[in-house]
Amino acid sequence: MVQLPRRPTRFQRFTAAVAAGGRANFAGGWARTSLRLLALLVGFYGGGNLTSYVLPVFPGGRPAVVLALVLLLELVVRLRTRILLRPPDAEPAPFGWMLADNFRMGLVYSVVLEAFKVGT
């Protein structure tokens, strides 16, 4: 029996794009890969320090810090899309933007993890 050609589904295209992004994140030499991982960990460390030390002493309290953090992260994302001007499925982003993205992901993960620990 002959197999008819099948078109990939949206989910298959999505998983292929995610896998390509993961491969792009760990492609290259050990120095580039370790810098990417270090940016992720520094972002996580910074987010942990932000929620532990800065939140209690910041005027305006928790809502002001969270609003400032969301505005800062959205500004970075908007700048990236305006400066790069390319579709998301194109070749990997330049190294500096990849470091900024990893830092941002680590920071967001840390703040969300702290929110779950606190229960808010």
State the SS3 of 43-58: HHHHHHHHHHHHHHHC
Q: Looking at the predicted structure, is the pLDDT value of residue 5 above 70?
A: no
Nearest to 101 by CA among 27, 31, 21: 21
Note the pLDDT of residue 90: 66
Do the Cβ atoms of 74 and 65 come closer than 8 Å? no
Q: What is the DSSP letter of 85?
A: -
Average per-residue pLDDT for the chain = 79
Summarize the confidence of residues 53-81 as an average pLDDT. 79
Summarize the confidence of residues 8-26 as an average pLDDT. 79
Note the pLDDT of residue 32: 82
pLDDT bin (cut points 50, 70, 90) of residue 42 is: very high
Is the pTM value of this prediction over 0.75?
Answer: no
